[in-house]
């Protein structure tokens, strides 16, 4: 991001420095370690906000990408779960049919025994 400033004087003779956004540039002091520590400079009044906005935009972009991936995974899991449910349901139905077949054989055997005794 290019920086640009211009200076204008006001009625009391002190200059007003404007940042790239044409807002008043605050006078700041370097706080980092090094030979220029304590040096004063005019900075952009939007400086911390712009960096935060860019970071937040990047975070939102990453979160959207993660969200899309998770939505895809959930969709795949739903398909797998549906297939597994169909298999389980089929197996349960097969077991019920087998039990019904065995029960009908038992009932048929009982009816034959009763008919054989009575006749």
10-residue mean pLDDT series, the chain (119 residues): 50 72 83 86 77 84 93 84 81 85 91 80
Q: What is the pLDDT of residue 22?
A: 84
Q: What is the pLDDT, as a whole number, of residue 13?
A: 61
**What is the pLDDT, as a whole number, of residue 64?**
94
The pLDDT assigned to 49 comes to: 66
What percentage of the chain's residues is helix, strand, coil (to nearest 5)? Answer: 60, 15, 25
Report CA 7 to chain centroid distance, whole Å.
46
Contacts of 44 (CB under 8 A, 6+ apart): 3, 19, 20, 21, 23, 25, 50
Give the pLDDT of residue 12.
59
Give the global pTM. Answer: 0.34
Which pLDDT value is given to residue 2? 45
Residue 104: predicted pLDDT: 92
Residues 6+ away with beta carbon under 8 Å from 115: none
């Amino acid at each position: 991001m290019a920086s640009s400033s211009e200076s204008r004087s006001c009625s009391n003779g002190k200059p007003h420095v404007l940042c790239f956004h044409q807002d008043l540039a605050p006078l700041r002091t370097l706080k980092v370690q090094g030979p220029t520590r304590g040096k004063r400079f005019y900075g952009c009044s939007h400086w911390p906000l712009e960096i935060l906005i860019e970071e937040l935009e990047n975070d939102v972009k990453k979160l959207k990408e993660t969200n899309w991936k998770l939505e895809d995974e959930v969709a795949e899991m739903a398909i797998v779960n549906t297939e597994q449910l169909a298999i389980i349901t089929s197996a349960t139905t097969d077991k019920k049919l087998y039990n019904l077949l065995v029960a009908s054989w038992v009932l048929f055997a009982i009816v034959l025994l009763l008919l054989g005794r009575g006749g």
